Homo-oligomer: A and B are copies of this chain.
Amino acid sequence: MKWAIIGTWRMCLEGVQKAAALLEKGGKASDAVETAIKEVEDFPFYKSVGYGGLPNEHCEVELDAAFMDGDTFSFGAVAGVRDIKNPISLARRLSRERFNIFLVGQGAEEFAHKNLFQRQNMLTERAKTMWEIRMKKVREGNLSPYDGHDTVGIVALDTLGSMSAGTSTSGLFMKKRGRVGDSPLCGAGLYVDSDVGGAAATGLGEDIMKGCLSYEVVRLMEEGYAPEKAASEALNRFLKKMSDKGRKVGAISLICLDKEGRWGIGTNVEFSFVVADEENGAKVLLARPEKGEVIVKEASEEWLRSYEERLKNPPELNL
C-alpha cells in the first residue's frame, strides 16, 4: 500500500523528511507522527512549538499537544505543561490509557515525572528576547498581544493502511496562563480514522474549537467528499455560519489526508505545508484562499531561501 504524510507549516519539513524515511521502510504511522513532531519540538528556532516556543503573558512556555491513533481511536492530550521536553510523546503515552487521557498543568507534569519523561527548561534566550520586545510593543499599544499561534499538525498513513495524527504548540503568543486552544482537543485540533482519513488544524484555536473542524473534515471525507474538497468545504461552511452569526473569524488552516494518501487544504490565509509520499520526497507547498477555493503551488527557491533567512535573523529581533 501507499504511504503518505502531510504537515502544517514549513517548520515541519525536517520532521516530515525524517518521518518519510521511516514510512518508506515500512514504519508505523503512529511512530512517523511522533518522530515528525519531536523534530519540530526540539528545534529551538521554531518559535511556536516545543523548545523555544513563545511564552505566555508571564514569560512561561506552556505547551499543548495531542496524539490520536486512527486504528483504535486511542487519544491522549496535554495542555499547559511546562518544561517537558517532548509534549507529543507525553500525549502519545496518555493515549494508551483508558481513563485520564487528557491532563493539564501540574497534573500532566506529575504524570510525566512519574513516567520518567525528560524535563527541560523550554524557554530560550531568543524566545525571551522576543517576549520582551513584544511586551514593550503591547504596552505602547502598537500591537495585539495575540499574533502568532502556529501549531504543527501531522497526519500520516503507513504501508499497512494505519493512520495517526498529532499536534503540538505553545499556543497564542502572550496568552493568559492556562489558556487552552484547539490543538489538544479531539475533533478540533486533530482527528483521524484509519477507515476514512485524518485532519489537523492551525490558527486561532478559539474559533477552530467552535466548529469541531478536524472532526468535520474527516466526517465530510466519510460522506464521500474528496480530500481536495473536504477541508475547504468544512472551512467554508464554518465561515458562513460564523458570518451569519455576525462573528469575525481569525486565521484558520486545515490539512487532511485520506486512506488512499490523497490530501487537501482549507485555509483563509496564506499558508505553507509539507507533503511527502512514495512518489515525491518531502516538498513545501503554499496555499492561499481565492473566492472560496484554495490555490496551491510549490514554494519557490526564493521563498524557501527567504524563510531560512528569517529563521536565522528574525526581523522581530533586529529593530
Contact = CB atoms under 8 A, between A and B. Distances in A.
Copies of this polypeptide in the complex? 2
Given A187-B187, A215-B187, A107 B178 contact: yes
A19 B241 CA distance: 29
A104 B80 contact: yes
B103 A178 contact: yes
A298 interface: no
A80 B105 contact: yes
B180 A247 contact: no
Contacts of A176: 100, 103, 107, 110-111
Interface string A239-272: 0011011110000000000000000000000000
A309 interface: no
Contact of A104 (B146, B178, B188): B178
A206 interface: yes
A28 interface: no
A191 B210 CA distance: 9
Contacts of A75: 206, 209-210
Contacts of A91: none
A103 B178 CA distance: 5
Contacts of A18: none
Interface string A52-87: 000000000000000000011101000110000000
Interface of A: 71-73, 75, 79-80, 98-108, 110-111, 146, 172, 175-181, 185-188, 191, 193, 195, 206, 209-210, 212, 215, 241-242, 244-247
